[in-house]
Amino acid sequence: MSLPDRDKPLLNELSGYRVVESPYRTEEGKNVSLIPEGAQKLSVPEFNRLALEGRIAGGKDGIILAEDGNQNVLVGQIVTRIWPAATGDASVDKQRFERVEVPFTLEFQGDRVKQLLGPDTKFKRESGSWGGILLNLLPIVLILVILFFMFRAQSGGARGAMSFGKSRARLISPDKNKVTFKDVAGISEAKEEVWELVEFLRNPEKFRDLGATIPRGVLMVGAPGTGKTLLARAIAGESNASFYSISGSDFVEMFVGVGASRVRDMFEQAKRTAPSLIFIDEIDAVGRQRGYGMGGGNDEREQTLNALLVEMDGFENNSNVIVIAATNRADILDPALLRPGRFDRQVVVNLPDVRGREQILQVHARKVKMAPGVSFERIARGTSGFSGAQLANLVNEAALLAARKGLKEITEAELEEARDKVSWGRERRSLAINERGRRITAVHEAGHAICLLKTPHSEPLHRVTIVPRGGALGMTMWLPSDDKMHQLRSEMLDQLVVAMGGRCAEQIVFGDVTSGATGDIKSATNLARRMVCEFGMSEKLGLIEYGEHQGEVYIARDLGTRSRNYSESTAELIDSEVRFLVDSAYERAMAILTENRDKLDILTEALMEFETLEGSQVMDILEYGEMKNPPSRVTPPPMPSEVEEQPGKDDSGHTEKKEAEETRADGAEERKMEGELEQAERDPFSYNPVDEFGKDGGEKK
């Protein structure tokens, strides 16, 4: 077992070793696995005994001192001597053992090992495999990788693991921003207000020669979807200036001081690319009034706001950086943020009027295939109160509907259907309603429609339907002739009459009432209370506002400060006046429907037959007792599941599977309606055909 001197290891390095059999190296310089799978353990006494008996052998390389994982091992073999009975000569057999593990202690170091294995025992140093080393390093590498990605996510991407204080503003270069004022419609006044910014960024010397300074900041205030962000992008596109876009919530971070640092970094970036625009969307997330937070003056949000105030109008001059901000809650912004020198100008972006809606529809129609002859003016009149975002959604819904029908162009019919879907929801023709439930809904809607046509100050009737749509089982829709900035008292009184029409029709036809007028009563009560408390339309209470009506509530400011500013006796008088208005409207509706009882029955039967009637057809019934041009039944567009399979494809078993799925779906829908219809079979007047006036069965403006 002697080895050359160059292979002798330091014997005092032996500590905590295991003796194992080894599949020794097969090639010079090539490391192989030194530890066989599944080895038998040797205790210390057993190892001593084997060593004293001379049964520890090292093969051709002697006893190998190798590395196994994070510890060293002694690699060798156990020698078994066999004494044949005949000859008496001893033969040596190197017996293979499964695994030998010896927990070496200090007594096996140095001379003790030589004493056990013999003075001529040599050791060879063998390095372990790279696999063991990498296996030991794997947990550390995994931890480092996880920490790296955690810091990277917190820092906002690939800017480094410690870039928390860097701005998250996204730079939109002029060559990538293609939005111009041609893409903005319906807000002409707002466009005129911000045009000065464009002229200044294009030709600043024109203003500086006169000693004029451009506004440091422009605050856009308006309802959601009115085009505030689009207008800001158009300013950048027209002026060819660098455009930085950021949200108010991007300044908020889990670490203290990060928001203020990001504000400073954002303005530093804007200065380097001046002239530039900084657009802060939803600035109320960071610019709320100070002093109302739970953290007081040390609130992190207030530190961010202070940094923003200093950067906008501090000691340094940032004349080539213009800040544009957007919000729909200007009432909660800090006064220091709104003063001249910071946000010098407030641009109110209102909902578009009828002409503005028509222009917006025309802008979005350029992006789709629209059939010639479509009346955008009619669609605009029927979308009172729609924002620009809602009108864009309307055009997109019309395009989707036309695609479902297989049309090549979008017609006015698709725009009408899309408007109804956006306003009141999609038709639910699959909803299982029995004949009695349909008749109750038809009577209810007929009462609304007749009262609408018989009151002189109501809007023109547009459509009556008993087809369920959204959460409604039927509805009466009117189409305003134009946008009204003021509403007369007589118009409100007629609106109360229309609200009571459905309940009165049920009373006249069935001699009883249903719960379907819940929404009608709620809507009428709210309108009557506003007439008494806000509009001063009560003769007994006079021109006094009762209650505080200051718009939206800011909890941090208004919590515990609002109270009723009138006495109990005045409250009783208010309730009596509200009831008087509603009762008077109910009596007027009863008189109208009683006088036109025959027309009520004809209109009910027409709704039962055709389900949907246009306003002109209802007017024919009231004037002539019949319809001059009865409607044709409209076939709804097919559902995606109803589209036939394309020819040439293997649909084996698909038809049966689809029929089974449809049968299960129909059964589930019937079971869902069973509980509601069971009560209707017993008592038709306990059935609830409508839930909310203006949405479920009532008028919708």
Sort 274 into a burial class: Cβ within 10 Å, 0-12 / 13-18 / 19+: middle
Residue 601 and residue 642: Cα distance in Å, rounded? Answer: 37
Q: Are strands 321-327 and 170-172 parallel, antiparallel or unpaired?
A: unpaired
Instruction: Outline where DSSP puts E strands in 202-333.
Output: 217-222, 242-247, 276-281, 321-327
Residue 460: both structure tokens together: 């023109």
Residue 332: both structure tokens together: 């909660």
Note whether 345 and 326 are within 8 A (CB).
no
DSSP H/E element including 81: strand 77-82
Note whether 241 and 406 are within 8 A (CB).
no
- Torsions phi, psi for 573 (to 5 deg): -70, -35
CA dihedral 583, 586, 588, 594 (to 10 degrees): -140
Residue 213 and residue 318: Cα distance in Å, rounded? Answer: 12
Q: What is the CA radius of gyration of the chain?
A: 43
Residues paired with residue 95 on neighbouring β-strands, in sequence order: 78
- Enumerate the H helices of 366-434 as residue ranges: 376-381, 388-405, 412-424
Residues 6 or more apart whose CB falls under 8 angstroms from that of 328 comprise 221, 222, 223, 224, 284
Residue 375 and residue 372: Cα distance in Å, rounded? Answer: 9
654 is in an annotated binding site: no
Q: Residues 385-424, buried b or exposed e (16+ Cβ, 10 A)?
A: ebbbebbbbbbebbbebbeeeebeebbbbbbbbbbbbbbb
Note whether 476 and 449 are within 8 A (CB).
yes
444 is in an annotated binding site: yes
Note whether 432 and 670 are within 8 A (CB).
yes
227 is in an annotated binding site: yes
Q: Which of 445, 506, 611, 699 is catalytic?
A: 445
Residue 151 and residue 171: Cα distance in Å, rounded? Answer: 23
Going by the DSSP 8-state scheme, the letter that residue 225 receives in this structure is T
Residue 600 and residue 443: Cα distance in Å, rounded? Answer: 8
Give the three-state DSSP class for 348. strand
The answer to whether 626 is a known catalytic residue is: no
Residues paired with residue 281 on neighbouring β-strands, in sequence order: 247, 326
Taking Cα atoms as reference points, which of 71, 55, 190, 216 lies closest to residue 63?
A: 55
Residues 6 or more apart whose CB falls under 8 angstroms from that of 547 comprise 533, 534, 564, 565, 566
494 is in an annotated binding site: no
Note whether 440 and 516 are within 8 A (CB).
yes
222 is in an annotated binding site: yes
Residue 631 and residue 151: Cα distance in Å, rounded? Answer: 66
- Torsions phi, psi for 260 (to 5 deg): -65, -40
411 is in an annotated binding site: no
Taking Cα atoms as reference points, which of 299, 296, 305 lies closest to residue 332?
A: 305
Residues 6 or more apart whose CB falls under 8 angstroms from that of 439 comprise 604, 608
DSSP H/E element including 112: helix 111-117
Give the three-state DSSP class for 159. coil
| HSE-CB of 61 using CA atoms within 13 angstroms | 20
Give the three-state DSSP class for 477. strand
228 is in an annotated binding site: yes
Give a three-class secondary structure readout of 11-68: HHHCCCCCEECCCCCCCCCCCCCCCCCCCCECCHHHHHHHHHCCCEECHHHCEEEEEE
223 is in an annotated binding site: yes
Residue 246: both structure tokens together: 């950021």
225 is in an annotated binding site: yes
Taking Cα atoms as reference points, which of 335, 332, 382 lies closest to residue 358?
A: 382
Give the active site residues: 445
Which residues are part of a known binding site? 222-229, 444, 448, 520
Which residues are part of a known binding site for Zn(2+)? 444, 448, 520
Which residues are part of a known binding site for ATP? 222-229
